[in-house]
Structure formats: structure tokens, C-alpha cells
Amino acid sequence: MNLEVIILAAGQGTRMKSPLPKVLHPVAGRPMLQHVVETARALQAKAIHVVVGHGAEQVRVALDDSALTWVTQEQQLGTGHAVLQAMPAVQPDSTVLILYGDVPLISAATLERLVAVAVSAPALLTARVAKPAGYGRILRDEAGALVGVVEHKDASDSQLLIDEINSGVLAAPASDLQQYLPAIKNENSQGEFYLPDVLAMAVADGKAVATCMAESELEIQGVNDRVQLNQVEREFQRLQAEQLMRAGVSLADGSRLDVRGVLHCGVDVSIDVNVVLEGVVTLGDGVSIGPNCVLRDVTVGEGATIHAMSHLQEADVGAACSVGPYARLRPGTVLGAGARIGNFVETKNANIGLGSKVNHLTYIGDCDMGAGVNIGAGTITCNYDGANKFRTEIGDGVFVGSNSTLVAPLQIAEQGFIGAGSTVTRAVDKGELAVSRARQRNISGWQRPTKNKD
């Protein structure tokens, strides 16, 4: 069986009150539509067709996926009309699965069950919900067979009492859709061409329309406003937290972790509260992340510890390193194994060698640092002259005293020693001591200033 997926993503989403197309609003750091595309790929779909309309070019650019087939719905005339626009690109012997770009929690397992029963006739994904207002209701005969779907605005009082609702997710042989979609009428309160009308047509032709029940109401939750967006976000994060804990990750509080991208974890990883992980983050075996940390596109080697309140972006932290608390590792930072970055330290585009220590109140930027280096508190590398950036090169075993200023371009050879309070502008050779500061004078008999007595 060839499976092709049509994703409807043409709506404007006026209730979002945003110029951003609705399907591009993020869930877990990625556009809603991206989640649906990835689920479709998990089904091994032969082709994925995305129907766009409002903000079509913006949607294409945001996904930047050449493997997708893009279809434009010039006028948004309903779901049936949207699917019809994509049908010319669908192979006639395929089974077609219809998804929605604003329903990001739908699972591949649920969709596999639906596709499996759509071999010779359409099949519909339904759900039972406590508050069905706004949803189309499932109509069944006395034997329990589906006979059609009535939209909420067109339902009678008795039909509004039905709690089984239409999720909108439908699978059908392509030949059925080719036959029924052109015949849909828009004789309803909205004046739209409703996709579920194909179900009643199939029933009228004597076909048995199958249904599958969704695992949960949230799985088929569509996003129409910011409240629903938040509901979907929190459910997505809950599911991710559960998966992590079942995989052996220790979470101090699963409800206070946000994974906004892709997370790869080794064994015995520990993550404290209020941690945000963005982009692609890889945590090796035994890594510990303290509370209130943000990691974006970061790799952390085994046994490393990221202490509280630290912010890391596009950094590579080696094994057994210690970072923070209150540290900021900016893009291009690479820490060798066993390196230590302490409180109120900022690094950028810097290579910190094996076992080197930058423990407090320091800025290290555009720097190549060897192994076993000790950087004293208050040290800065002056890497910018107002127009260009320059590098500082520090050899193995160098000691830099507190409150030193290293003016790049600068080379400090191995075992060099910088006296505290120095401003270093010239190269320091191997084993040399560099001191650059005013000579101290002690003045005897000096009197402190006193306040005027007015």
C-alpha cells in the first residue's frame, strides 16, 4: 500500500491575533506544522503534500523542506475544497491520510491504526470529549455504524448532546476522494465545502466507513488561540518529561522542564527544576544540570556539572567539567576535559584547555588556552579595538594574576606568569614573569579627609 499524506495548513488563524501564520506558532520550540510533518514521515509516507494559503511563502521558507509538495489554496473555501486542490498530485492507487497543521500532538501509533482500516473505504478518527462544543458530531445508526458527521453549527438540539466528535483526521483510498470531493456541496451555515461530507457519500454507496478512537482528547486538540496553544505546549512537555524519565533521566520536577528542540541523553543524567533546553542538546552519561539553566545547541560530556543559573549557547563542554553557577558560555566556547568555569564568568569563541580554571568574575573571548592554566578573578581579554577582533594565545601552565588585562593580539608562552593588576600588551616568553603596574608609594602621616561641620 502506498501512503500519501495531505496536511491542511492554509488557515489564517485570526484568533491567534498575530501576523504569523497559525501553523508557524511554536510548540516545544518548533512550528506546529513541523511536528505534523515529522509524524507523517514516521509513517513512511511516500509523499507529503502541504496545502497552504495565508502566508504561504512564509510557511514554505520557515520549513525549508524540499521533500514536501506544496499546494496553494487561493481561496479558503473549506476543508473539502483544500483537499481537492492537492488531489492532482496524488497517485490514484494510494491511500490518502489527511492531517492538520494545527494539530501537533497526533501520534504515529494512532494514525497507523486509522490507515490500517481505510483499505477499501474512508475511515475517520473520532474521540469522546467532555465538552464537545464547537466540534462536528458523529452520527451513527441503531447498529452503531457511522452514517455521517454534522457540524456543530448545523446540528439539532439532540445532536448537540452527542459526545463523540469528529477529529477531522481522515484516511481514504485516493479513488474515493477523487470521486466524492468534486460532489461536495456548500449548503450549510458557513457556505463551505466540508471534508466529512465524503463519509455520508461513501455510506450512501453502501460502503462501511470505519472509525478509530483517539487515545486522548488532547491528542486531537487543534490550536485556534493562545489558550489552546498553551494547553498543547504543556501536554507536549509532559509527554517529553515522561519519556525522559522512563529512559532513565532523573527530573527534579517533570512539570518544570522545557525541551524546545531535540534532546539526547546518556544514562544517569540529572536535571533540576526550571531548565530550558533549546535546539539540539546532547548530555553525556552522568551529567548534572542545576536549576534555572538554559542550554541552546550544546554538547556536555560525561560526568560534567552545569551549576545553577548558567546560560550556555553553541558550546562544547568536555567530560568532568564544572560550569557555574552564574556562568555564561557564548557561541564557540570549547572546554577541554576537567576545565572549570566559575561564577560570573563569560566566555566567547574560546578554547579552554584540559584542567584549566577560570573561576570568577572574568571575560575570556577569542582565546586559545592550553592545559593547566589558572586565570585569576577580574581578568579580561581585550579582543576588540572598535573595528576588528584579535586573539589571545595562552600556553600550558600559565598563571594569570587577578585583575589583569590581556590586550590582544597577544601570546603568553607556557609557564608564563602574569602579576596581579597588570595590563599586558607585549608577548610573554616561556617561564617569564610579566608585571605592568605603577610602583606603590606609602605616605606616612597622611590624614583622612573629614566632613565639614556646618
What pLDDT is recorded for position 11?
87
**Bridge partners of residue 434, in order along the sequence:** 418
Query: At residue 87, does pLDDT exceed 90?
Result: yes
Question: pLDDT exceeding 90 applies to what percent of the chain?
Answer: 85
Beta strand pairing call for 146-150 and 137-140: antiparallel
Query: At residue 29, does pLDDT exceed 80?
Result: yes
The three grid cell numbers given for residue 270, joined into one nine-digit string: 540529572
What pLDDT is recorded for position 109?
95
Q: Are 326 and 344 within 8 A, CB to CB?
A: yes
Higher-confidence residue: 338 or 440?
338
Cα end-to-end span (Å), the chain? 98
CA distance 104 to 109: 14
What pLDDT is recorded for position 234?
97
CA distance 187 to 79: 14
Averaged confidence pLDDT in the chain: 95
Higher-confidence residue: 448 or 390?
390
Alpha-carbon torsion (147, 151, 153, 154), positive or negative: negative
Residue 55: DSSP 8-state = B
Q: In the predicted model, what is the mean pLDDT of residues 97-113?
A: 97
What pLDDT is recorded for position 134?
83
Question: Burial code of 300-321, b = ≥16 C-beta within 10 A, e = fewer?
Answer: bbbbbbbbbbbbbbbbbbbbbb
What pLDDT is recorded for position 245?
97
What pLDDT is recorded for position 131?
87
Q: In the predicted model, what is the mean pLDDT of residues 330-351?
A: 98
Please list, in sequence order, all residues whose beta carbon lies within 8 angstroms of the beta carbon of residue 77, skipping any fewer than 6 positions away.
186, 192, 193
Higher-confidence residue: 317 or 453?
317
Residue type, 59: V
Tens digits of residue pLDDT in 119-158 = 889 999 999 988 888 888 999 988 888 888 888 888 999 9
User: Please, what are the domains in the chain?
Assistant: 2-220 (3.90.550.10), 226-434 (2.160.10.10)
Confidence of residue 453 (pLDDT cuts 50, 70, 90): confident
Cα dist. 6→194, 339, 434 in Å? 15, 51, 69
Q: In the predicted model, what is the mean pLDDT of residues 42-64?
A: 95
What pLDDT is recorded for position 76?
86
Tens digits of residue pLDDT in 373-432 = 999 999 999 999 999 999 999 999 999 999 999 999 999 999 999 999 999 999 999 999
Tens digits of residue pLDDT in 309-339 = 999 999 999 999 999 999 999 999 999 999 9
Higher-confidence residue: 20 or 11?
20
What pLDDT is recorded for position 262?
95
Q: In the predicted model, what is the mean pLDDT of residues 225-235?
A: 96
What pLDDT is recorded for position 130?
87
**Bridge partners of residue 311, in order along the sequence:** 294, 328
- The mean-pLDDT minimum among 45-54, 206-215, 325-334 falls in 206-215
CA distance 103 to 303: 39
Alpha-carbon torsion (125, 126, 132, 136), positive or negative: positive
Q: In the predicted model, what is the mean pLDDT of residues 218-226?
A: 93
Q: How many CB atoms lie within 10 A of CB 223?
A: 26
As a three-state string, the secondary structure of 80-113 is HHHHHHHHHHCCCCEEEEEEECCCCCCCHHHHHH
Catalytic residues, by residue number, are 360
Q: How many CB atoms lie within 10 A of CB 377?
A: 18
Please list, in sequence order, all residues whose beta carbon lies within 8 angstroms of the beta carbon of residue 189, skipping any fewer than 6 positions away.
151, 153, 154
Query: At residue 57, does pLDDT exceed 80?
Result: yes
What pLDDT is recorded for position 13?
87
Please list, in sequence order, all residues whose beta carbon lies within 8 angstroms of the beta carbon of residue 144, skipping any fewer than 6 positions away.
none
Q: How many CB atoms lie within 10 A of CB 447?
A: 5
What pLDDT is recorded for position 119?
85
Confidence of residue 189 (pLDDT cuts 50, 70, 90): confident
What pLDDT is recorded for position 393?
98
Rounded to 5, what percent of the chain is helix, strand, coil? 20, 35, 45
Q: Are 80 and 194 within 8 A, CB to CB?
A: yes
Angle at 202 between CA 201 and CA 203, to 5 degrees: 90
Confidence of residue 248 (pLDDT cuts 50, 70, 90): very high
